[in-house]
Structure 1
Protein backbone atom coordinates (compact mmCIF):
# COMPACT_ATOMS: atom_id res chain seq x y z
CA UNK A 1 0.00 0.00 0.00
CA UNK A 2 1.16 3.49 -0.59
CA UNK A 3 -0.26 6.96 -0.54
CA UNK A 4 -3.93 7.65 -1.05
CA UNK A 5 -3.54 9.64 -4.30
CA UNK A 6 -4.73 6.89 -6.64
CA UNK A 7 -8.01 6.38 -4.76
CA UNK A 8 -9.05 10.02 -4.46
CA UNK A 9 -10.86 11.38 -7.49
CA UNK A 10 -12.29 14.27 -5.42
CA UNK A 11 -8.85 15.82 -4.92
CA UNK A 12 -8.93 15.58 -1.13
CA UNK A 13 -5.30 14.45 -0.98
CA UNK A 14 -4.06 17.57 -2.75
CA UNK A 15 -6.08 19.71 -0.32
CA UNK A 16 -4.53 17.90 2.63
CA UNK A 17 -1.05 18.24 1.22
CA UNK A 18 -1.50 21.97 0.59
CA UNK A 19 -2.75 22.45 4.18
CA UNK A 20 0.48 21.08 5.66
CA UNK A 21 3.45 23.26 6.49
CA UNK A 22 7.19 22.53 6.40
CA UNK A 23 9.41 24.29 8.93
CA UNK A 24 13.14 24.14 8.14
CA UNK A 25 15.69 23.49 10.89
CA UNK A 26 13.16 22.53 13.57
CA UNK A 27 13.69 21.19 16.19
CA UNK A 28 17.35 21.16 15.18
CA UNK A 29 19.47 22.14 12.16
CA UNK A 30 18.95 19.98 9.07
CA UNK A 31 15.44 18.78 9.99
CA UNK A 32 12.56 19.69 7.67
CA UNK A 33 9.72 19.49 10.21
CA UNK A 34 6.40 18.33 8.75
CA UNK A 35 3.89 20.46 10.68
CA UNK A 36 0.26 19.33 10.93
CA UNK A 37 -0.98 22.32 12.95
CA UNK A 38 -1.93 24.20 9.79
CA UNK A 39 -3.95 21.15 8.68
CA UNK A 40 -5.88 21.32 11.96
CA UNK A 41 -6.71 24.97 11.28
CA UNK A 42 -8.35 24.02 7.99
CA UNK A 43 -11.68 22.30 8.82
CA UNK A 44 -12.16 20.88 5.31
CA UNK A 45 -8.66 19.40 5.07
CA UNK A 46 -8.86 18.05 8.63
CA UNK A 47 -12.27 16.45 7.92
CA UNK A 48 -11.00 15.02 4.63
CA UNK A 49 -8.06 13.47 6.48
CA UNK A 50 -10.34 11.75 8.98
CA UNK A 51 -12.84 10.76 6.26
CA UNK A 52 -10.16 9.06 4.14
CA UNK A 53 -9.05 6.91 7.07
CA UNK A 54 -12.67 6.14 8.03
CA UNK A 55 -13.50 5.11 4.45
CA UNK A 56 -10.52 2.75 4.49
CA UNK A 57 -11.34 1.03 7.79
CA UNK A 58 -15.13 1.21 8.21
CA UNK A 59 -15.80 -2.25 6.74
CA UNK A 60 -12.62 -4.00 7.87
CA UNK A 61 -13.74 -5.34 11.29
CA UNK A 62 -11.26 -3.17 13.13
CA UNK A 63 -12.03 -3.32 16.86
CA UNK A 64 -9.42 -0.87 18.12
CA UNK A 65 -7.53 2.18 17.02
CA UNK A 66 -4.27 2.78 18.88
CA UNK A 67 -2.99 6.35 18.79
CA UNK A 68 0.63 7.18 19.50
CA UNK A 69 1.30 10.14 21.80
CA UNK A 70 0.77 12.90 21.03
CA UNK A 71 -0.38 13.55 17.48
CA UNK A 72 -1.90 10.10 17.09
CA UNK A 73 -4.36 11.32 19.74
CA UNK A 74 -5.61 13.95 17.30
CA UNK A 75 -6.47 11.54 14.48
CA UNK A 76 -7.22 8.30 16.32
CA UNK A 77 -10.33 9.13 18.40
CA UNK A 78 -12.50 10.49 15.56
CA UNK A 79 -11.56 7.49 13.41
CA UNK A 80 -12.40 5.09 16.24
CA UNK A 81 -15.76 6.76 16.91
CA UNK A 82 -16.72 6.75 13.24
CA UNK A 83 -16.00 3.04 12.74
CA UNK A 84 -17.35 1.89 16.12
CA UNK A 85 -13.98 0.86 17.56
CA UNK A 86 -12.38 1.56 20.92
CA UNK A 87 -9.48 4.00 21.16
CA UNK A 88 -6.33 3.10 23.08
CA UNK A 89 -3.76 5.79 23.86
CA UNK A 90 -0.14 4.63 23.64
CA UNK A 91 1.68 7.02 25.96
CA UNK A 92 5.13 8.02 27.10
CA UNK A 93 6.21 6.62 30.51
CA UNK A 94 4.42 7.65 33.71
CA UNK A 95 1.45 9.28 31.98
CA UNK A 96 -1.16 6.55 32.53
CA UNK A 97 -2.64 5.76 35.95
CA UNK A 98 -2.99 2.14 36.98
CA UNK A 99 -1.17 -0.94 35.77
CA UNK A 100 0.61 -0.66 32.42
CA UNK A 101 2.73 -2.72 30.08
CA UNK A 102 5.71 -1.10 28.38
CA UNK A 103 7.75 -1.40 25.21
CA UNK A 104 11.18 0.23 25.01
CA UNK A 105 12.64 1.11 21.64
CA UNK A 106 15.70 2.72 20.11
CA UNK A 107 15.61 6.03 18.26
CA UNK A 108 18.31 7.56 16.10
CA UNK A 109 19.16 9.89 18.99
CA UNK A 110 18.54 7.67 22.05
CA UNK A 111 15.76 5.49 23.39
CA UNK A 112 12.13 5.87 24.42
CA UNK A 113 9.22 3.84 25.71
CA UNK A 114 5.50 3.45 25.03
CA UNK A 115 2.99 2.32 27.66
CA UNK A 116 -0.57 1.01 27.52
CA UNK A 117 -3.07 0.03 30.21
CA UNK A 118 -3.17 -3.64 31.13
CA UNK A 119 -6.51 -5.01 29.96
CA UNK A 120 -7.08 -2.41 27.23
CA UNK A 121 -6.59 -5.07 24.55
CA UNK A 122 -8.61 -8.25 24.26
CA UNK A 123 -7.10 -11.31 22.65
CA UNK A 124 -7.96 -11.24 18.96
CA UNK A 125 -8.64 -7.50 18.73
CA UNK A 126 -8.00 -6.23 15.19
CA UNK A 127 -5.96 -3.04 15.47
CA UNK A 128 -4.83 -0.08 13.41
CA UNK A 129 -1.98 2.03 14.78
CA UNK A 130 -2.38 5.73 13.97
CA UNK A 131 0.19 8.54 14.04
CA UNK A 132 0.75 11.76 12.15
CA UNK A 133 4.04 10.77 10.51
CA UNK A 134 6.31 7.81 9.82
CA UNK A 135 10.04 8.50 9.59
CA UNK A 136 12.31 5.58 10.57
CA UNK A 137 9.38 3.48 11.81
CA UNK A 138 10.83 2.85 15.28
CA UNK A 139 7.84 4.17 17.20
CA UNK A 140 5.33 2.32 15.03
CA UNK A 141 7.28 -0.94 15.46
CA UNK A 142 7.27 -0.46 19.24
CA UNK A 143 3.50 0.10 19.10
CA UNK A 144 3.04 -3.09 17.07
CA UNK A 145 5.13 -5.08 19.56
CA UNK A 146 3.21 -3.68 22.53
CA UNK A 147 -0.23 -4.39 21.06
CA UNK A 148 0.67 -7.87 19.85
CA UNK A 149 2.23 -8.80 23.21
CA UNK A 150 -1.18 -7.96 24.70
CA UNK A 151 -3.01 -10.22 22.21
CA UNK A 152 -4.10 -7.87 19.42
CA UNK A 153 -3.48 -8.44 15.73
CA UNK A 154 -2.21 -5.26 14.09
CA UNK A 155 -3.83 -5.14 10.66
CA UNK A 156 -2.14 -1.95 9.46
CA UNK A 157 -0.39 1.27 10.44
CA UNK A 158 -1.86 4.55 9.22
CA UNK A 159 -0.12 7.93 9.01
CA UNK A 160 -0.94 11.24 7.44
CA UNK A 161 2.65 11.81 6.22
CA UNK A 162 5.53 9.54 5.20
CA UNK A 163 9.20 10.55 4.95
CA UNK A 164 10.25 7.90 2.37
CA UNK A 165 13.98 8.65 2.56
CA UNK A 166 14.07 7.40 6.17
CA UNK A 167 12.80 3.95 5.13
CA UNK A 168 10.19 3.41 7.84
CA UNK A 169 8.00 1.50 5.39
CA UNK A 170 10.77 -1.08 4.88
CA UNK A 171 11.12 -1.49 8.65
CA UNK A 172 7.39 -2.18 8.96
CA UNK A 173 7.65 -4.76 6.15
CA UNK A 174 10.18 -6.63 8.30
CA UNK A 175 7.38 -6.85 10.89
CA UNK A 176 5.02 -8.02 8.15
CA UNK A 177 2.79 -4.96 8.55
CA UNK A 178 1.36 -2.80 5.78
CA UNK A 179 1.43 0.98 5.92
CA UNK A 180 -1.20 3.38 4.61
CA UNK A 181 -0.27 7.05 4.24
CA UNK A 182 -2.04 9.98 2.68
CA UNK A 183 0.91 12.13 1.54
CA UNK A 184 4.66 11.99 1.19
CA UNK A 185 6.73 14.58 3.02
CA UNK A 186 7.49 17.89 1.40
CA UNK A 187 11.13 18.90 1.25
CA UNK A 188 10.65 22.61 0.63
CA UNK A 189 9.71 25.09 3.36
CA UNK A 190 6.20 26.49 3.11
CA UNK A 191 4.85 29.80 4.31
CA UNK A 192 1.56 29.26 6.11
Structure 2
Protein backbone atom coordinates (compact mmCIF):
# COMPACT_ATOMS: atom_id res chain seq x y z
CA UNK A 1 0.00 0.00 0.00
CA UNK A 2 1.45 3.38 -0.96
CA UNK A 3 1.67 6.14 1.59
CA UNK A 4 -0.88 8.96 1.33
CA UNK A 5 0.14 12.04 -0.58
CA UNK A 6 1.38 15.07 1.30
CA UNK A 7 1.16 18.70 0.14
CA UNK A 8 4.75 18.68 -1.10
CA UNK A 9 3.95 15.72 -3.39
CA UNK A 10 1.61 17.98 -5.42
CA UNK A 11 4.27 20.67 -5.97
CA UNK A 12 6.25 20.50 -9.21
CA UNK A 13 9.95 21.39 -9.15
CA UNK A 14 11.25 23.05 -12.31
CA UNK A 15 15.05 23.28 -12.59
CA UNK A 16 16.78 26.36 -14.00
CA UNK A 17 13.72 28.64 -13.85
CA UNK A 18 13.65 31.61 -13.91
CA UNK A 19 17.47 31.46 -13.97
CA UNK A 20 20.07 28.74 -14.21
CA UNK A 21 20.76 27.20 -10.81
CA UNK A 22 17.30 27.99 -9.40
CA UNK A 23 14.74 25.27 -8.74
CA UNK A 24 11.29 26.84 -9.06
CA UNK A 25 8.65 25.36 -6.73
CA UNK A 26 5.48 25.47 -8.83
CA UNK A 27 2.30 25.41 -6.73
CA UNK A 28 -0.01 25.57 -9.77
CA UNK A 29 0.07 21.76 -9.85
CA UNK A 30 -1.11 21.80 -6.22
CA UNK A 31 -3.91 24.26 -7.06
CA UNK A 32 -5.11 22.26 -10.06
CA UNK A 33 -5.65 19.08 -8.05
CA UNK A 34 -8.85 19.17 -5.96
CA UNK A 35 -7.43 16.95 -3.21
CA UNK A 36 -4.15 18.85 -3.10
CA UNK A 37 -5.85 22.24 -2.94
CA UNK A 38 -8.27 21.11 -0.23
CA UNK A 39 -5.40 19.62 1.77
CA UNK A 40 -3.34 22.81 1.52
CA UNK A 41 -6.22 25.09 2.54
CA UNK A 42 -7.21 22.83 5.45
CA UNK A 43 -3.63 22.61 6.69
CA UNK A 44 -3.01 26.35 6.32
CA UNK A 45 -5.96 27.27 8.50
CA UNK A 46 -5.71 24.38 10.99
CA UNK A 47 -3.43 26.17 13.54
CA UNK A 48 -5.78 29.17 13.55
CA UNK A 49 -9.14 27.36 13.76
CA UNK A 50 -10.77 28.33 17.04
CA UNK A 51 -8.54 31.39 17.48
CA UNK A 52 -9.74 34.92 16.84
CA UNK A 53 -8.95 35.90 13.26
CA UNK A 54 -10.86 38.88 11.88
CA UNK A 55 -9.37 39.06 8.38
CA UNK A 56 -7.03 37.19 6.08
CA UNK A 57 -4.58 39.14 3.93
CA UNK A 58 -3.10 37.48 0.86
CA UNK A 59 0.09 38.58 -0.87
CA UNK A 60 0.00 39.00 -4.64
CA UNK A 61 -0.61 36.84 -6.53
CA UNK A 62 -0.81 33.22 -5.40
CA UNK A 63 -1.60 34.39 -1.86
CA UNK A 64 -4.93 35.60 -3.26
CA UNK A 65 -5.93 32.06 -4.23
CA UNK A 66 -4.97 30.57 -0.89
CA UNK A 67 -5.98 33.53 1.24
CA UNK A 68 -9.44 33.73 -0.28
CA UNK A 69 -10.05 30.04 0.37
CA UNK A 70 -8.71 30.26 3.95
CA UNK A 71 -10.86 33.35 4.64
CA UNK A 72 -13.91 31.51 3.31
CA UNK A 73 -13.26 28.53 5.57
CA UNK A 74 -12.72 30.80 8.60
CA UNK A 75 -15.83 32.86 7.67
CA UNK A 76 -13.87 36.12 7.73
CA UNK A 77 -13.10 38.81 5.16
CA UNK A 78 -10.23 38.70 2.68
CA UNK A 79 -7.94 41.64 1.90
CA UNK A 80 -5.42 41.68 -0.98
CA UNK A 81 -1.97 43.21 -0.64
CA UNK A 82 -1.07 44.20 -4.19
CA UNK A 83 1.89 45.40 -6.18
CA UNK A 84 2.17 49.17 -6.52
CA UNK A 85 -0.41 50.79 -8.77
CA UNK A 86 -2.91 47.91 -8.83
CA UNK A 87 -5.40 49.07 -6.17
CA UNK A 88 -7.92 51.87 -6.80
CA UNK A 89 -8.62 54.45 -4.12
CA UNK A 90 -6.52 55.56 -1.16
CA UNK A 91 -3.68 53.22 -0.23
CA UNK A 92 -0.67 52.98 2.02
CA UNK A 93 2.53 51.51 0.62
CA UNK A 94 5.68 49.77 1.80
CA UNK A 95 8.95 49.32 -0.09
CA UNK A 96 11.09 46.22 0.33
CA UNK A 97 14.30 44.80 -1.07
CA UNK A 98 14.48 41.94 -3.55
CA UNK A 99 17.52 39.96 -4.65
CA UNK A 100 17.65 42.16 -7.76
CA UNK A 101 16.35 45.54 -6.57
CA UNK A 102 13.36 47.03 -4.80
CA UNK A 103 9.62 46.62 -5.04
CA UNK A 104 6.57 48.12 -3.38
CA UNK A 105 3.27 46.70 -2.15
CA UNK A 106 0.07 48.50 -1.25
CA UNK A 107 -2.98 48.04 0.92
CA UNK A 108 -6.21 50.06 0.97
CA UNK A 109 -5.98 52.52 3.84
CA UNK A 110 -9.35 51.38 5.20
CA UNK A 111 -8.90 47.61 4.74
CA UNK A 112 -7.91 46.87 8.34
CA UNK A 113 -9.48 48.35 11.45
CA UNK A 114 -7.34 49.01 14.54
CA UNK A 115 -7.38 45.97 16.81
CA UNK A 116 -8.29 43.43 14.13
CA UNK A 117 -6.37 40.16 14.21
CA UNK A 118 -5.05 39.33 10.76
CA UNK A 119 -3.70 36.11 9.25
CA UNK A 120 -1.15 36.69 6.47
CA UNK A 121 -1.16 33.99 3.75
CA UNK A 122 1.11 33.33 0.76
CA UNK A 123 2.31 30.37 -1.25
CA UNK A 124 6.05 30.62 -0.59
CA UNK A 125 8.39 32.01 2.04
CA UNK A 126 11.83 32.80 0.63
CA UNK A 127 13.71 35.82 2.04
CA UNK A 128 10.61 37.12 3.84
CA UNK A 129 10.82 40.60 2.29
CA UNK A 130 7.32 40.65 0.82
CA UNK A 131 5.80 39.15 3.95
CA UNK A 132 7.59 41.68 6.16
CA UNK A 133 6.29 44.52 3.99
CA UNK A 134 2.76 43.09 4.32
CA UNK A 135 3.13 42.83 8.10
CA UNK A 136 4.25 46.46 8.29
CA UNK A 137 1.23 47.60 6.26
CA UNK A 138 -1.20 45.74 8.51
CA UNK A 139 0.48 47.06 11.64
CA UNK A 140 0.46 50.64 10.32
CA UNK A 141 -3.34 50.40 10.18
CA UNK A 142 -3.44 49.12 13.77
CA UNK A 143 -3.95 45.45 12.93
CA UNK A 144 -2.31 42.66 14.87
CA UNK A 145 -0.77 39.73 13.00
CA UNK A 146 -2.30 36.48 14.30
CA UNK A 147 0.13 34.43 12.22
CA UNK A 148 1.87 33.98 8.88
CA UNK A 149 0.94 30.86 6.89
CA UNK A 150 2.76 29.56 3.81
CA UNK A 151 2.60 26.41 1.71
CA UNK A 152 6.36 26.29 1.04
CA UNK A 153 9.32 27.41 3.13
CA UNK A 154 12.78 27.74 1.56
CA UNK A 155 14.80 27.68 4.82
CA UNK A 156 18.17 28.46 3.21
CA UNK A 157 16.89 31.91 2.21
CA UNK A 158 16.18 32.87 5.83
CA UNK A 159 12.59 34.13 5.59
CA UNK A 160 11.27 32.15 8.55
CA UNK A 161 14.08 33.39 10.78
CA UNK A 162 13.48 36.97 9.62
CA UNK A 163 9.76 36.81 10.44
CA UNK A 164 10.29 35.00 13.74
CA UNK A 165 12.77 37.72 14.75
CA UNK A 166 9.87 40.17 14.23
CA UNK A 167 7.88 38.11 16.75
CA UNK A 168 5.70 36.40 14.14
CA UNK A 169 4.21 32.92 14.41
CA UNK A 170 5.22 31.21 11.15
CA UNK A 171 3.42 28.13 9.83
CA UNK A 172 4.62 26.35 6.65
CA UNK A 173 3.22 23.12 5.23
CA UNK A 174 6.49 21.90 3.76
CA UNK A 175 10.08 22.92 3.17
CA UNK A 176 12.43 22.41 0.25
CA UNK A 177 16.21 22.53 0.54
CA UNK A 178 18.21 24.57 -1.94
CA UNK A 179 17.25 27.56 -3.97
TM over 0.5: yes
Q: How many positions carry a matched residue from both structures?
A: 177
Q: Does 1:65 align with 2:52?
A: no
Q: Is the 8 A contact 2:156 2:177 kept in 1?
A: no
Unaligned stretches of 5+ in structure 2?
none
Residue 79 (structure 2) aligns with: 88
Q: Is the 8 A contact 1:22 1:186 kept in 2?
A: no
Partner deviation per Cα, 1:12-32 (whole Å, 9 max, x = no partner): 7x4211111000111111111
Shift of 1:187: 5.2
Q: Does 1:74 align with 2:65?
A: yes
Unaligned stretches of 5+ in structure 1?
1-10
Q: Does 1:109 align with 2:97?
A: no
Question: TM-score, normalised on structure 1?
Answer: 0.88
Q: Which has the higher contact order (CA 8 A, sep 6+)?
A: 1
Question: TM-score, normalised on structure 2?
Answer: 0.94
Residue 46 (structure 1) aligns with: 37
Residue 30 (structure 1) aligns with: 21
Runs (4+) of structure 1 exceeding 3 A deviation are none
CA RMSD of aligned residues (A): 1.5
Partner deviation per Cα, 1:68-120 (whole Å, 9 max, x = no partner): 00010010011101112111100001111111110111111100111011111
User: Are residues 133 and 154 of structure 1, via their aligned partners in 2, closer, same or farther at CA, if it must alter by over 3 Å?
Assistant: same
Q: Is the 8 A contact 1:161 1:181 kept in 2?
A: yes
